[in-house]
Amino acid sequence: MNVFKKYRINSIFFGSFFLFTLLILIIIILFSYRYSANQIVETTTEHQKNNLYRLSEELGSNLKTFQDYSVILSRQQMFREVISGRQSSDTTSLTNDFSNVIYSVPAIHSVEIYMNSPPVDNVQYPVRYFELDEVYEAEWYKDLENISYSWLGTRDVETMAGQHSVISLGRKINSSRGELQSMIVINLDPVTVESWLRKYHEDSHMVLLDEKGSIVSSTGNNDIGDEQYQELIDFSHTEETFFDSPSQDQVQIDNDIIVTTSIPAVNWTVMEVTPYEDIIQGSKEMARTLIVIGFLATIIVLFGTMFLTKKFTDPILELTKVMKSYQLTKSRVSLPSGYKNEFGELFNGFDELTNRVEELYASLDEQHQHQRKAEIKALQANINPHFLYNTLDQINWVAIEKGNIDISRMIELLGNMLRIGLSKGESIISVGDELKYLEYYMKLQEIQLEDRFSYSIDSPREVLDYFIPKLTLQPFVENAIIHGFRDRREGVVKLAITEEDFQIKIEISDNGIGFPTNINLQKENDLGGYGIKNVMERLHIYYGEKATMSIDSNDKGTSIFILIPKVNDKKLLSG
């Protein structure tokens, strides 16, 4: 249902203007919120990437330092002699040396030495000794099987206080023959690593992942060793970034924005996890402020719309009121004045319209009087055809009484022609009536010319019900009799009608003397040009370009070809 056709214009104007303005405000608020949120997220993540880039370089440097410690410890002369069995009884000095290193580097939690025939292990010392065969049974050994050293991720080691999580770096020591002689494992304290992560922002949720995606250290509530971020660090394993500068990425998982940066030195990944809601908190505050402003603006727009609606619709309602109360027999109600815009044009147009209506009413009244007089004259004129028929009938009876049969027959034919010719004032008749009229005329000429004239009509029954302008064919036959046969003793006229698709073809031919086809048909002449021109003009008026006529004439006779459309409804030509 079209609301513009059903409801009042002031309601439509007020409702549409108010809703349109409200929709614009909502769009502005939503767009501002979305745009500001995206900008804040983009700015925040870019800032986080910069911080993580610097943190990645520092972490890489610190972890690389511990790799260097493992090299230093593994190359110590006393360590080499102990694992080779040359000072098996003097492991105390080695323990003391390694302990001094551990105490001097707070980040190192402990050192584990795997060797053949190790001394008695003492859990009280930060240096622990184990049988070398235990290495092969350890789960983490597969990470070192084909390389000399590797970070082993998080492990649990036994201390006097119980199990303690550490981050381990393992390095193999092979004999001159390439056989595994010993294994040294340096354990890093996760608390120290966590302090490194908190260096740039105390409240940030930082997570350090090893190359397997397992959590090595975290400033949040994540469990150490929990493996759940493998898909986030796949980019760190590409050949291009492993020994190059750190590569970075960001992704949204659930309701968190995660920014990741690789640590090429150790093939680890550091990432910062920030709840999306925390990032867009500023956008929400702005959106709430815009909603309050929008609510106040909506109230202002509401009253403004009511004011504008009244100003725009009052003139239209006034015009509607005047239109409803307007009557020709009553005095006209004046419209508001002073409008120079479209309202003024409407009021002036209505005034002009009412003036025109009053003029037309007066003109119709005058025409009505003339029509009454014309009807009276028409009633009187109807007497004339009846008088003519009665007069011809009386002459016919006189001719019969005096024995003039030909005169009687001619009067009868003339009466029949008049009945068809007058045809109650109709200008369109059927083809059948047109042929009857033409046959009556040719019978009259046959009686007058006696044996010097003959005719034939060939017409199928199907064409008789089509309609044609009255007196279309008779002028051509009359022209042939009067002008074509004037120098001949005998004349023949033939008329043939045929159907061609959606048209009727009429051919009228005679054996007269013919006439030049280039004669002037614009005026009457001895050859009957005016009658032919009259028929041509009438056919053009009724049928337009669809009606055509051609003439073929020589000293042996003349043929007229007429082509008109089939019309089986008189109204199509009467209109």
pLDDT band at 506 (very low <50, low <70, confident <90, very high): very high
Residue 178 burial by CB count (10 A; 0-12/13-18/19+): exposed, middle or buried? exposed
Strand partners, 558: 510, 553
Token duo for residue 390: 């009665």
> pLDDT tens across 354-373, in order?
788 778 878 887 777 776 66
What's the whole-number mean pLDDT along residues 44-56? Answer: 85
User: What percent of the residues of the chain are helix, what percent strand, and what percent coil, each to the nearest 5?
Assistant: 55, 20, 25
- The alpha carbon of residue 135 and the mean position of all alpha carbons in its chain are separated, in whole angstroms, by 70
pLDDT on residue 498: 93
Q: 197 with 270: CB under 8 angstroms?
A: yes
**pLDDT score of 466:** 92
- pLDDT surpassing 90 at residue 495: yes
Mind listing the pLDDT tens digit for each residue in 403-454? Answer: 777 777 787 777 777 777 776 667 788 999 999 989 988 888 888 887 788 8
Angle in degrees, CA 170, 171, 172, rounded to 5: 125
Percent of the chain with pLDDT over 90: 11
- pLDDT digits 0-9 by tens, 432-445: 999 998 998 888 88
Instruction: Please report the pLDDT score of residue 373 as a whole number.
Output: 63
Q: What does the pLDDT average to over 26-54?
A: 84
d(CA 49, CA 203): 16
The answer regarding whether domain 1-301 maps to CATH 1.10.10.10 reads no
Which of the pair, 458 or 7, is modelled with greater confidence? 458
Which distant-in-sequence residues (6+ apart) come within 8 Å of 513 by Cβ? 483, 484, 485, 486, 487, 488, 555
Q: Please report where in the chains the tokens 């911080």 appear, as a residue.
A: 51
Q: Output DSSP code: residue 550.
A: E
Instruction: Write down how long the chain is.
Output: 575
Cα separation of 109 and 102, whole Å?
A: 7
Average pLDDT over residues 80-98: 78
Confidence of residue 80 (pLDDT cuts 50, 70, 90): confident
Q: Is residue 349 over pLDDT 90?
A: no
Q: Is the Cβ–Cβ distance between 52 and 271 less than 8 Å? A: yes
> Of 375 and 317, which is predicted with more confidence?
317
d(CA 368, CA 121): 136
Q: Measure CA of the first residue to CA of the last residue in the chain; give whole Å.
A: 38
User: What's the mean per-residue pLDDT of the chain?
Assistant: 79
> What's the rounded mean pLDDT across residues 125-145?
87
Give the model's confidence band at 380: pLDDT under 50 very low, under 70 low, under 90 confident, else very high: very low
* Sequence-separated (6 or more) residues with CB below 8 Å from residue 511: 484, 488, 491, 492, 556, 557
Show me where the domains of the chain are located.
1-301, 326-379, 442-574
pLDDT single digits (tens) 305-343: 788 777 777 777 777 777 777 766 666 667 777 777 777
Q: How many CB atoms lie within 10 A of CB 293?
A: 13
Between CA 258 and CA 143 the distance in angstroms is: 28
Which positions ≥6 away from 563 have C-beta within 8 Å?
500, 503, 504, 505, 506, 547, 548, 549
Question: Which phi and psi (to 5°) does residue 212 adopt?
Answer: -90, -5
Are the beta carbons of 56 and 263 closer than 8 angstroms? yes
| Best-predicted range by mean pLDDT (129-138, 294-303, 313-322, 384-393) | 129-138
pLDDT score for 335: 72
pLDDT for the residue 401: 72
**pLDDT, tens digit, 9 for 90 and up, residues 248-295:** 887 877 778 888 888 888 888 888 888 878 777 777 787 788 888 878
pLDDT for 525 equals: 46
What is the structure's pLDDT at 387?
54
In sequence order, the 6+-apart residues with CB closer than 8 A to the CB of 238 are 247
**H/E/C letters for each residue in 206-244?**
EEEECCCCEEEEECCCCCCCCECCHHHCHHHHCHHHHCC
Tokens of 211: 């190359």
CA 468 to CA 466: how far, in whole Å?
7
Q: Which CATH number fits domain 442-574: 3.30.565.10, 3.30.230.70, 1.10.1760.20, 3.40.50.2300?
A: 3.30.565.10
